Structure 1
């Protein structure tokens, strides 16, 4: 029972007998398990050393089992830590192996990964192994609902890993994506920008590995490439950096209250130096190229509310087109 946790037979059998018969002696446990007394004594010594049992005073000595959830749970936690360390070492060795093998085995520069579950696992591995920086293109569709896959990124951000992510305007307008994912990530330090379109989904870890879908136009990602150090990886990084320079920053989302919690008040009055929080968010989404319908989805407004806000904003700027409103907002330093 406990072999997988590093305790050999008959430790598991003796522990189970001790759980069923608290304060048993070595002899009683040997009889209950049908093993020699010496074997039972050796097993008890191991159980005590591992914290799974305790010895009570008196003669003959008697033993008491530790609570299984604490005792076995602790051993499971230790083994999981060991497995994580082994996995990290494996990735480091594999990176060295690929780097030294590419001269004679160029096919090792690209792996094919099949299936959503395996792709998700490799993406998580890349993020977990990152020590400095993550680059990413983010665009729909999404397999999981917004907010369900952000725990790992949040842990990495809290550890000081830099995230630079370019979102497509469709991603920003995706229901729940802005509120549940993007805004919280920006608050933790993510460097977020938006482009009308991004070429594909992309994740690059420490400029050493990348994941891209096999087909950029797939409605559901079922196959992907893992790209290792190579000219192809260099090209993907150059593509990201070029798109980054052209993208609009979303850092104005940091610290702003939820749009859904505010009333749709008019834009900031003429002559004010800064807009209110909701107007700033509206301007960012407007500048990113979202339609009124997309802005409504992103901010959780009704379509009529969005149109009313846009009309108030255009009156504030004396603009007759959305483009003119965007130019005026930039001239005032609002975006």
Structure 2
């Protein structure tokens, strides 16, 4: 039988199936159709009424009709799904307890090697979904999923009060359209973003509770990862993040108030940030959606405005003026 996954016995499903094709019948009439005892069919019909799969009409003897199948069975499916979700939540809580107990009993289990792509994806999803106060991350290629594919979920977390601090590598910022389609919207929703020319690894830290890093940044290295629980290694990763955060250059979110006559506009601030990050003309053009010619012209005009003869001098002068 097919409906046993919803908690229906073979006999219950047989009675319900017969009732669907024989509306407004008595228990005795349905018993003849099913080849069962009338008393047994009567008990099963009462159970179907209780579960919302059948309707009893008044009268002597009472007559029964099946509830519309797609409505009735869908309700059972939804109820079963709620139970599965509740069970899944309990499993997650038990796993947290298990990992904590294992970490104390076996310190070597503070680091768990994940070698399945689905396990890695699930671990990252669990870390970010369970965060209560802050997510810290290093963002750099290579990518398994398209950059920005989790933007909606991140914005939902930020609206719940989960802070996001992300350091992007120069390559990540230069990813075509990344600033306008992903990083910009994230920052407008509250993300604090900075950029470094290079990052030593990819990293996600959830609160001060756990982190995940790839096994390697080489080709194929994303198919394995380390899940790191509370331990000295996690403390070391947190310290690494904070050190890189202090050295990183803040990205502009494009929401600054209208610039005063002697201050740069939003696009100029974005350009300065990318210049300070060491991006090439081509990378800046891809990031901001400009042509290379427009980018070169804007850089040349900016250097003239700052009285700078080199990019480094332009970045230094802009920083002294408070433009960065």
Which of 259, 265, 269 in structure 2 is aligned with 1:276?
A: 265
Counterparts in 2 of 1:149 and 1:76: CA distance versus 1, 3 Å:
farther
User: Does the aligned pair in 2 maintain the 1:18–1:65 contact within 8 Å?
Assistant: no
Counterparts in 2 of 1:29 and 1:152: CA distance versus 1, 3 Å:
farther
State the alpha-carbon separation in 1 of the partners of residues 21 and 304 from structure 2: 79
Q: Partner residue of 1:331?
A: 320
Q: Partner residue of 2:173?
A: 172
Q: Partner residue of 1:61?
A: 63
User: Does the aligned pair in 2 maintain the 1:88–1:129 contact within 8 Å?
Assistant: no
* Counterpart secondary structure, 2:105: coil
State the alpha-carbon separation in 2 of the partners of residues 153 and 30 from structure 1: 57
Counterparts in 2 of 1:163 and 1:32: CA distance versus 1, 3 Å:
farther
Q: Partner residue of 1:200?
A: 201
Cα deviation, residue 39, structure 1: 4.2
State the alpha-carbon separation in 1 of the partners of residues 33 and 159 from structure 2: 52
State the alpha-carbon separation in 2 of the partners of residues 309 and 30 from structure 1: 86
Counterparts in 2 of 1:21 and 1:150: CA distance versus 1, 3 Å:
farther
State the alpha-carbon separation in 1 of the partners of residues 54 and 276 from structure 2: 65
Counterparts in 2 of 1:45 and 1:150: CA distance versus 1, 3 Å:
farther
Q: Partner residue of 1:89?
A: 90
User: Does the aligned pair in 2 maintain the 1:56–1:62 contact within 8 Å?
Assistant: yes
State the alpha-carbon separation in 2 of the partners of residues 197 and 333 from structure 1: 24
Counterparts in 2 of 1:132 and 1:89: CA distance versus 1, 3 Å:
farther
Task: Spell out the pairing of 1:1-335 with structure 2 (5 A cutoff).
Answer: 1-23=2-24, 25-56=26-57, 60-66=62-68, 68=70, 70-218=71-219, 221-250=222-251, 252-255=252-255, 272-335=261-324
Q: What does the per-residue CA deviation read over 1:12-52, in whole Å, with 9 as the maximum and x for residues that have no partner?
A: 44444444555555445545544444444444444444444
Counterparts in 2 of 1:283 and 1:106: CA distance versus 1, 3 Å:
same
Cα deviation, residue 119, structure 1: 1.1
User: Does the aligned pair in 2 maintain the 1:141–1:220 contact within 8 Å?
Assistant: no
For this pair of structures, how many residues does the alignment match? Answer: 320
Cα deviation, residue 225, structure 1: 0.9
Counterparts in 2 of 1:8 and 1:199: CA distance versus 1, 3 Å:
farther
Counterparts in 2 of 1:37 and 1:173: CA distance versus 1, 3 Å:
farther
State the alpha-carbon separation in 2 of the partners of residues 232 and 150 from structure 1: 29
Higher mean displacement: 50-59 or 224-233 = 50-59
State the alpha-carbon separation in 2 of the partners of residues 102 and 232 from structure 1: 13
State the alpha-carbon separation in 2 of the partners of residues 32 and 277 from structure 1: 78
Cα deviation, residue 226, structure 1: 0.8
Q: What does the per-residue CA deviation read over 1:77-122, in whole Å, with 9 as the maximum and x for residues that have no partner?
A: 4433333333333333333333333343122211111132221121
Cα deviation, residue 200, structure 1: 0.9
State the Cα RMSD in Å.
Answer: 2.7
Larger Rg: 2
